[in-house]
Chain A
């Protein structure tokens, strides 16, 4: 692999692959974008771990953002340690860290070779799906804090949030897989042992025939008692709520089939229908398993605790002490560092706050607050350290209180009922009617055949085909959507999305992209040299705005910057080509305050202000086309916490039938959704930040948009990747198709049922007929549902 990847003038960092602004940071002919990346390389080089770079090209993550030295001091706190440690004895400690940066086999290699970097570490084991690493270390030689700092040092900073303090998450439920395994085993063996019966085993060998029958009976018991248990449980629950769901008739059919077959085996009158029964249970479990396959790397149930830090620095008598967040009481004084989240509502007692509330309100411009003013939890401090006096507990803050609202909790309990249950109800009524008629008929003609005919009806006519078609269709649609980076919480969400008739968008971060902002310059025209000077200075800084400026103004070779200084929250300065260049906020450069609608960066050369760059929101490409598609079928709304600066532009973009609402606080967003729902509308909300969390939860289908999969998304019904956002109208269409596909395959299965019923009502249902009908109808449904969903997806180019 070449040490330096040169594409004309583009030089990328050997560690993280980001474009290097300068070629000054180098080691052994390898270029790095920043000192941080170089440091990681040096460490790995020393320890002979350079396989890390051979496995994948530029596997690291950028180290431009420095982590505060004392950041993990809270890990020395024993109460916090106890919550994080999964196992410990006198010698060893096991701890699991969530590391969102894990993305390739290099990460795996490095994290599992940690013991070579620190002698105290015994082993590391990565779980790729959950993006975590379980580390075993020796108590005497290292500590949990040192481990966390080592991980941070090599670019894998563990993400420890307040939610980690709330006990261990339960492991994924594996019982479904166990049941599936048991059902498959029994089904296969019973099928095999039923073959002599199908082929007409010689009646002259009754002993052998009986052995087969009894073996079948024994093999059917685990399926009846263990594998089919979820169906009994679910039907029992629903009947207790006086609701007839699809599982009730299925459980009834399983029980009747087992009873009748057992009776046949015991009385020696027949072989029973164990093969059909176990087969159906197996297929239904498989369908459920496909449908409920979860995306372990995603979490749909994040609340504020996943965003908030585990501990903050509390100042008592001029000493700093890390304290667990739940222990913060009103009256405490907190020290909030640069880029840290304010964990509780409070009053600033020292320092100047420059707070970015974009997290809470969606407003993209940060707010300056002076000593004595109130700040709300959820804001992010930019710039220097501030001290705040806590006035409210963490759980009762303005932002966190949104989650504790009662109406949001209720939504989980009165979930919508799938149309499949309603369909199965009609089906059950019809089956019961047929059973009654058959009973009456045979009572008159031949009473001895009532028992056989009626049980046959229940054996053959259970709505398992409906369940199969539903679960297989849902499972395949979920799979197709996830292939397109649209992940749904569960199968019910498909129906919720299909029912939607009003779509509400959040503006900032949803319609606009945070990553692609447009930079425009106003003021005295800049010469080529000046542009280069600006770019060179901006390249020195890690601030997102500087990085964007460096990219936009003048890519390519950079000039040498000397006397570079950074003023957090204000701006930067440096001497480039013999002139002092300053960039930063209006106050920093001009000394006056001037209000701008957008985020701006002023520039001065030798203390002479020349103009400013303004950063506008860039609407995602293709939004007009998406809106045009959606406009005819749905009512649309846009909610934003921003001001009305872009009102005209939005009108143009969204068309004049769209409702636009500005200055929307999180609570107002939630209430807007509620008003729409009160008017009988089914609402889909698409948003990104915490500020939309309430609305996402309230909406019938709340979809969170995420720029990349590592990003945190608020609690929602679905997560859509920003790149797939433009396919939204196709996704909705596919969800709508779900219902038609299920209904059509149900009709197919009814045809099979009618054939079976023809034999059943006459009391002539032989195990062979049942054994042919059951798998062939299942196979038919399987092929039909998979075929149509895949064909539809292909036609929609998904």
Chain B
């Protein structure tokens, strides 16, 4: 019986992890623009070069 309780805890915590991942992705705007990311990933060069990033910091 106790093994079921452990399984329950495991399953709910894994599910909650996905829930929070979903909520986080909505919050950070990952669903705002479906097209841009799809194109962006195909570009060979990085949109930001490292030297620039250092300059900001």
Contacts and interface: CB of A to CB of B under 8 A. Distances in A.
A188 B22 contact: no
B26 interface: yes
A723 to B, nearest CB: 21
B8 A215 contact: yes
A211 B8 contact: yes
Given A127-B32, A129-B33, A181 B26 contact: yes
- Taking residues whose C-beta sits less than 8 angstroms from the other chain, chain B's interface range is 20 to 34
A110 to B, nearest CB: 11
Interface string B15-57: 1101100110011000111111001101111011100100110
Contacts of A112: 40, 43, 47
A420 interface: no
A128 B36 contact: yes
A122 B49 CA distance: 9
Residue among B1, B31, B43, B47 with the highest chain A CB neighbour number at 10 A: B47
A535 B42 CA distance: 43
Interface string A179-213: 00110010011001100000000000101100100
B48 A123 contact: yes
A710 to B, nearest CB: 16
B52 A126 contact: no
Contact of A129 (B32, B40, B43, B49): B32
Nearest to B26: A177
- Taking residues whose C-beta sits less than 8 angstroms from the other chain, chain A's interface range is 20 to 34
Contacts of A188: 15
Interface string A349-372: 000000000000000000000000
A138 B57 CA distance: 12
B11 to A, nearest CB: 8
A65 interface: no
A208 B43 contact: no
Contact of B36 (A108, A123, A174): A108
Contacts of A320: none
Contacts of A126: 36
A181 B17 CA distance: 12
Residue among B19, B42, B49 with the highest chain A CB neighbour number at 10 A: B19
Contacts of B34: 128-129
B4 A51 contact: no
Given A105-B39, A113-B47, A115-B52, A189 B26 contact: no
Contact of A51 (B8, B18, B44, B55): B44
Given A51-B44, A188-B15, A178 B26 contact: yes
A208 B4 CA distance: 9
Contacts of A124: 47
Residue among A185, A192, A208 with the highest chain B CB neighbour number at 10 A: A185
Nearest to A205: B1
A172 interface: yes
A114 B18 CA distance: 36
Interface in A536-571: none
A128 B40 CA distance: 11
B33 A130 contact: yes
A729 interface: no
Given A109-B43, A113-B47, A181 B32 contact: no
A138 B32 CA distance: 27
Interface string A98-128: 0000000100110011010000001110111
Contact of B56 (A91, A127, A129, A177): A91
Contacts of B12: 189, 215
B40 to A, nearest CB: 7
Contacts of A105: 39, 42
Contacts of A115: 48-49, 52
A750 B9 CA distance: 40
A92 interface: yes
Contacts of A91: 56
A128 B35 contact: yes
Contacts of B40: 108, 112
Given A108-B36, A108-B39, A207 B1 contact: yes
A79 to B, nearest CB: 27
Contacts of A129: 32-36
A175 B16 CA distance: 18
Contacts of A215: 8, 12
A193 B11 CA distance: 11
A315 to B, nearest CB: 42
A122 B50 CA distance: 11
A663 B42 CA distance: 54
Contacts of A177: 26, 31
Nearest to B27: A174
Interface in A19-59: 51
A208 B56 CA distance: 58
A181 B19 contact: yes
Given A177-B31, A208-B4, A211-B5, A127 B36 contact: yes
A178 B15 contact: no
Contacts of A130: 33
Nearest to A196: B4
B31 A185 contact: no
Nearest to A49: B45
Closest 10 CB pairs of A and B: A105-B39, A128-B35, A112-B47, A128-B36, A185-B19, A129-B33, A127-B33, A181-B22, A177-B26, A108-B39
Given A109-B43, A122-B52, A211-B5, 6 more contacts: A108-B40, A127-B36, A129-B36, A178-B26, A181-B22, A185-B18
Interface of A: 51, 91-92, 105, 108-109, 112-113, 115, 122-124, 126-130, 138, 172, 174, 177-178, 181-182, 185, 188-189, 192-193, 205, 207-208, 211, 215
27 contacts: A51-B43, A105-B42, A108-B36, A108-B39, A108-B40, A109-B39, A122-B55, A123-B48, A128-B34, A129-B32, A129-B34, A129-B35, A129-B36, A130-B33, A172-B32, A174-B27, A178-B26, A181-B22, A182-B23, A185-B15, A185-B16, A185-B19, A188-B15, A192-B11, A193-B8, A211-B5, A215-B8
Interface of B: 1, 4-5, 8, 11-12, 15-16, 18-19, 22-23, 26-27, 31-36, 39-40, 42-45, 47-49, 52, 55-56
